[in-house]
């Protein structure tokens, strides 16, 4: 299941994001969307989790969580 994570702090790294989601199950891929000019984060990312049950648990527990000073939004992509 592919998830969209929005409202990320510009300082949130792909490694930190992946670690957060791995606490709910296996993460197939994690891609932080970067600005082509600056190379910095655009504030959103995509996570793929092979097991739908793990992905649903991650959405339920992480949506609305405060990460690096930002209240993130997690939903099915």
What are the residue boundaries of the structural domains of the chain, listed by start?
2-76
CA distances from 12 to 37, 50, 51, 52 (A): 18, 23, 25, 25
CA distances from 22 to 16, 18, 29 (A): 10, 6, 11
For position 13, what pLDDT does the model report? 92
Q: Per residue in 2-27, pLDDT tens? A: 999 999 999 999 999 999 999 999 99
pTM: 0.92
For residues 39 and 41, what is the distance between their CA atoms, to the nearest angstrom? 7
2-76 belongs to CATH 3.40.50.300: no
Place of tokens 């600056």: 38
Q: Per residue in 21-64, pLDDT tens? A: 999 999 999 999 999 999 889 999 999 999 999 999 999 999 99
């Amino acid at each position: 299941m592919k998830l969209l994570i929005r409202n990320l702090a510009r300082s949130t790294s792909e490694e930190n994001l992946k670690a957060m989601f791995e606490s709910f199950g296996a993460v197939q891929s994690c891609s932080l969307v970067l600005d082509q000019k600056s190379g910095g984060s655009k504030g959103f990312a995509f996570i793929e989790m092979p097991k739908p049950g793990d992905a649903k648990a991650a959405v339920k527990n992480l949506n609305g969580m405060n990460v690096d000073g930002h209240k993130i939004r997690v939903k099915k992509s």
